[in-house]
Amino acid sequence: MIVSGTITFKMASRLRRLYDLMPEPKFVIAMGACAIGGGPYFEHGYHVVKGPTCWCRSDVYIPGCPPRPESLWKA
| Total number of residues shown for the chain | 75
Rounded distance between C-alpha atoms, residue 71 and residue 49, angstroms: 24
pTM given for the model: 0.74
How do the domains of the chain map onto residue ranges? 2-74
Rounded distance between C-alpha atoms, residue 66 and residue 68, angstroms: 6
Pick the CATH number of 2-74 from 3.40.50.12280, 3.40.50.2300, 3.40.47.10, 3.40.50.300: 3.40.50.12280
Label residue 53 by pLDDT band (50, 70, 90). Answer: low
Say what the pLDDT of residue 10 is. Answer: 84
> Each residue of 14-47: pLDDT tens digit?
888 888 898 989 888 888 877 777 777 777 777 7
